[in-house]
Amino acid sequence: MAHTFRGVTNNPAAGTSGLFGANTGFGTLTPTGGFGNTTTSAAAQSTLFSPSNTSGVFGNTPNKSIGFPSAFTGISTGTGISAFGAPTQQQQGGLFGLQAQQQQGQPTQLNQLVTALSAPTLLGDERDAILAKWNQLQAYWGTGKGYYTNTNASPVDFTLENPFCRFKTVGYCCIPGSKDEDGLVSLALNKKEADVRSQLKELVESLHKVLGGEQTLAVNVEGVKALPDDQTEVIIYVVQRFPPNGISRRMPVTKLFSYMTQVDVQLKQLGVVMWVPRTELSPAQLKQQNAPAGMDSIIWEQAKADNPDPEKLVAVPMEGFKELLCRMKIQEQMTKQHQTRLNIISNDIGDLQKNQVTTVSKIAQYKKRLMDLSHRVLRVLIKQEIQRKSGCAIDTDEEHLSVQLDTIDSELNAPTKMKGRLNELMAQNRMQNHFRAVRSEERYSVDAEFLHEIKQHLKQQQEGLSHLIKVIKDDLEDLKLIDGLNDNGHMPIYA
């Protein structure tokens, strides 16, 4: 099962500072946008309630959408669908997205790419054909630069997102089950889980300052989980309180994520390398997921048809070995977590089984003790009743009880009643035991006449075998005689 933070890259700038930002930890940041400094950027000066937050889930800031190839991996400047959102225009152009690129007014880049792959004019001779093949090979790899002209035009950069890259496939990722009103946002921090948990309170305070520091806002942590490469996922949500009536509710994830994209500098100073809204996809958004640019629509539709669980999984493209390695690390991390949880459950089951055996033995012990105490109480009551009734005449209830006891005793001692049946069963049991002992002592015996016939038959068989042995010996002597005649030079008789 793939995780939300697939393909998280390390942040060198964050790695050289303290745990979550500058060398002093959460309390102080660099002058470019700290918590206590007044010389913050324009984005940092805005708050969650400023008019600039009226944009959608990803805001109006360019190049801050979550690309479709990395819809579950992080923020990218590539094209595609937004994080769990609808596809952009560049996905709706078929095999290589050419029509969409033309609709977006980018014929120059397309022409440069086609020229570099088919007809470069850099050298002006037959070497341009070799250069075209080299550019095609680089495009297949998804790396390098394609030179195609001797003018001042910049070369074409071949990336994994180019339509001709061959290292592409389709995988599946889990669809978040949270709604917009839940307000959950996942943060990927370039720190270890132990360090994050030890300074979780400071992280919450720092995030509260980054989000405006309003008294009516409260940052809460939903969960903390380890990620590969010594990174940690922290799921947060913000609760907003309304002073007049004291009502509080969670801030929608669209509004929270939109503001976080505006204060990305401050978040990166805290060690946050990525933030993703955890919102579910609507059926309409799932249907609008067309083949991304550079991927065959037939392969994409087949991958969507082969989805093992369309209600929980969504098809996502995978480009390059680096993304495949990140996916493998996520899989190994989840496998370790599942194995750890299974070990904990197994230990708990073992402890419960031991407790169950101990409990059963204690229950049996307490039952026996209860029986003993009941008998003691009964004996005490009998003696007390005898002392209380001593010197008193027998009342009516006692007479009725005596009659009932006499009746029961007569039924038990009657020959045809319980006692007689019990004696009969005891006699049958002793008889069966006697027969069983007699049968164990019996041995098989044979009549004398039949035994004599068996002896005679065996004697005849012995005589027959002796006669057969004698005939074989005589034949061997004759064969030796014949062999001796052949050795003396005489012709054999049968010659």
Express each pLDDT in 192-212 by its tens digit.
889 999 999 999 999 999 888
Average pLDDT over every residue of 78-92: 33
**Other CB atoms within 10 A of residue 59 CB:** 19
Confidence of residue 27 (pLDDT cuts 50, 70, 90): very low
C-alpha 130: how far from its chain's center? 50
Confidence of residue 494 (pLDDT cuts 50, 70, 90): very low
Q: What is the DSSP pairing of strand 145-146 with strand 156-157?
A: antiparallel
C-alpha span between 6 and 413 (Å, rounded): 87
C-alpha span between 117 and 148 (Å, rounded): 8
Q: What is the DSSP string of 18-56?
A: BTTBBTTBTS---TTS-SS-S---HHHH--TTSGGG-S-
Q: What is the DSSP string of 397-434?
A: HHHHHHHHHHHHHHHHHSTTSHHHHHHHHHHHHHHHHH
Confidence of residue 487 (pLDDT cuts 50, 70, 90): low
246 φ/ψ angles, rounded to the nearest 5 degrees = 75, 15
Q: Is the pLDDT at 373 greater than 50, yes or no?
A: yes
The percent of the chain in helix, strand and coil, each rounded to the nearest 5, is 50, 15, 35
Express each pLDDT in 241-257 by its tens digit.
887 777 888 989 888 88
Amino acid at 288: Q
Residue 262 vs residue 245, higher pLDDT? 262
Confidence of residue 342 (pLDDT cuts 50, 70, 90): very high
pLDDT recorded at residue 278: 86
Q: Is the pLDDT at 111 greater than 90, yes or no?
A: no
Express each pLDDT in 142-156 by its tens digit.
889 988 888 888 898
Q: What is the DSSP pairing of strand 231-242 with strand 247-250?
A: antiparallel
**Other CB atoms within 10 A of residue 296 CB:** 13
pLDDT recorded at residue 53: 35
Lowest mean pLDDT among 83-97, 144-158, 231-245, 291-305: 83-97
Residue with tokens 């947060």: 236
Give strand ranges (E) for 243-303: 247-250, 272-277
C-alpha span between 404 and 406 (Å, rounded): 5
Average pLDDT over every residue of 222-240: 89
Give strand ranges (E) for 302-414: 313-319
Express each pLDDT in 6-26 by its tens digit.
333 333 333 333 333 333 334
pTM: 0.49
Q: Is the pLDDT at 347 greater than 70, yes or no?
A: yes
What residues have CB less than 8 Å from 423, skipping those under 6 apart?
none
Using CA atoms, how far residue 403 sits from 226, 396, 398, in Å, is 82, 11, 9
Lowest mean pLDDT among 23-27, 273-277, 396-400: 23-27
Q: Where are the alpha helices (DSSP H) in 41-153?
A: 42-45, 98-103, 107-118, 127-141
Confidence of residue 75 (pLDDT cuts 50, 70, 90): very low
What residues have CB less than 8 Å from 188, skipping those under 6 apart?
5, 8, 74, 227, 231, 232, 233, 272, 273, 274, 275, 276
DSSP 8-state assignment for residue 155:
P
Confidence of residue 66 (pLDDT cuts 50, 70, 90): very low
Residue 280 vs residue 462, higher pLDDT? 462
Lowest mean pLDDT among 23-37, 100-114, 128-142, 221-235: 23-37
pLDDT recorded at residue 432: 86
- Spatial contact of 33 and 40, defined as CB atoms under 8 Å apart: yes
pLDDT recorded at residue 356: 96
Question: Could you tell me the residue ranges of all domains in the chain?
Answer: 12-321, 405-440, 447-495
Residue 226 vs residue 244, higher pLDDT? 226
